[in-house]
Amino acid sequence: MALSVIFMGTPDFSVPTLRALHEAGHEIRAVYTQPPRPAGRRGLELTPSPVHRAADELGLCVRHPSALKSADEQEQFATLDADVGIVVAYGLLLPQPVLDAPRHGCFNAHASALPRWRGAAPIQRAIMAGDRETAMMVMKMEAGLDTGPVAMEKRVPIESDMTAGELHDQLAEAGASLMVDAIAALEAGEITLTPQPEEGVTYAGKIAKAETRIDWSADAQAVHDHVRGLSPFPGVWCEMDLAGRRERVKILKTRLVRSDALDGTPAGTLVGEPAVIACGQGAVALERLQKAGGKPLDVDDFLRGNALAVGDRLP
């Protein structure tokens, strides 16, 4: 017998789980998502979230309150009389009355190997830190930030050149199947909840604008991890002197280049073609770039209209 579900999510990452629960035959009584946001070139059009659009395609009831703090919103949530709440990157705080309303409480799919990388940006932080492995975990929610006991997990390796975008897509699909399995276990009365370890807690704070500028003085591995951890969004950037103008350029893909011959070369110096840049130690080759207002280009295409020469130094 299928469970009655309230689904709560907002970005693309949440959509595979919504679709998987629907396909598994669970009764989705309502989909909660964040309100439509201004978008478009002028920011005048209100655009529904990816979850909102997916729910509309599936013919599901959508609610998009700006907050859940009011007694009225909490009462509306409770009257749905659901068996379980499923939360995947919703983006709004759930007050205790909301967590307690479904008969089995609320379960969250989180993209890290908890207790490592609790918080808002676990995918980016794991790659930026050079982690070799992460996970999707389904946990029962409680008042603390990603502190609840874990019901199921799936470990996922982080390949050496994997970007945040690639890992995002892999984890989104893994999370969808994992949540279906977890809800099946809950339905059968066979779910086991394991408290998180007290040791190894780290926090994945939101990415600040100040973190998006490349620091060429870091070693090449750190630069490479920085680039792939923030690719494709928000993207790390540097400045380049192009056709007599200093322009901001996003670096979306790099490749490690190791050479002892670079020792002593000032960081940020172009030391090889097509675009090999010395770092504090070692070097990286720039492979995909994007000028402000332009489209992403492979390095050869980028350099056809933007000359760089060996010996140039990037600030």
Residue spans per domain, the chain: 4-203, 209-305
Contacts of residue 26, Cβ cutoff 8 Å, sequence gap at least 6: 2, 3, 4, 5, 183
DSSP structure class, residue 209: G
Residue 113 marked ligand-binding: yes
Residue 29 has pLDDT above 70, yes or no: yes
**CB count in 10 Å sphere of residue 239:** 14
Specify the CATH number for 209-305; select among 3.30.420.40, 3.10.25.10, 3.40.50.10860, 3.30.1370.160: 3.10.25.10
* Mean pLDDT confidence for 3-8: 98
Which class does domain 4-203 fall in?
Answer: alpha beta
In this prediction, residue 261 carries a pLDDT of 63
Question: Long-range contacts of range 23-29, CB-CB < 8 Å, 24 or more positions apart?
Answer: 24/180, 24/183, 24/184, 26/2, 26/183, 27/2, 27/3, 28/58, 28/60, 29/4, 29/5, 29/61, 29/80, 29/81, 29/82
Range of lowest pLDDT (61-70, 110-119, 261-270) = 261-270
51 and 10 in contact (C-beta within 8 Å)? yes
Maximum distance among all alpha carbons in the chain?
69
265 and 310 in contact (C-beta within 8 Å)? no
* Mean pLDDT confidence for 60-84: 97
Residue 49 marked ligand-binding: no
Do strands 236-242 and 245-257 pair parallel, antiparallel, or not at all (unpaired)?
A: antiparallel
* Mean pLDDT confidence for 71-88: 98
Residue 315 has pLDDT above 90, yes or no: no
Residue 273 has pLDDT above 90, yes or no: no
With cut-offs at 50, 70 and 90, classify the pLDDT of residue 258: confident
With cut-offs at 50, 70 and 90, classify the pLDDT of residue 208: very high
Output the CA angle 177-180-184, nearest 5 degrees: 140
In this prediction, residue 264 carries a pLDDT of 79
Can you say whether the dihedral through the CA atoms of 82, 85, 86, 90 is positive or negative? positive
pTM of the model: 0.94
In this prediction, residue 243 carries a pLDDT of 83
* Mean pLDDT confidence for 188-204: 97
In this prediction, residue 244 carries a pLDDT of 83
Residue 114 marked ligand-binding: yes
Q: Determine the straight-line distance between the first and last CA of the chain, rounded to whole angstroms.
A: 62
With cut-offs at 50, 70 and 90, classify the pLDDT of residue 39: confident
In this prediction, residue 262 carries a pLDDT of 73
Residues 233, 165: Cα–Cα separation, whole Å: 8
Extract the runs of DSSP E, i.e. beta strands, from the chain: 4-9, 27-32, 37-39, 45-47, 62-63, 84-88, 106-110, 118-119, 133-140, 150-157, 203-204, 236-242, 245-257, 270-272, 276-278, 283-291, 297-298
Residue 222 has pLDDT above 70, yes or no: yes
* Mean pLDDT confidence for 289-299: 94
* Predicted confidence (pLDDT) per residue in 135-166, tens digit: 999 999 999 999 999 999 999 999 999 999 99
Q: 279 vs 76, 94, 114, 161, 256, CA distance in Å?
A: 56, 44, 33, 18, 10
With cut-offs at 50, 70 and 90, classify the pLDDT of residue 220: very high
Residue 210 has pLDDT above 80, yes or no: yes
Residue 112 marked ligand-binding: yes
* Mean pLDDT confidence for 70-82: 97
* Mean pLDDT confidence for 74-94: 97
In this prediction, residue 1 carries a pLDDT of 66
Residue 271 has pLDDT above 80, yes or no: yes
Residue 40 has pLDDT above 70, yes or no: no
* Mean pLDDT confidence for 237-264: 88
* Mean pLDDT confidence for 55-75: 97
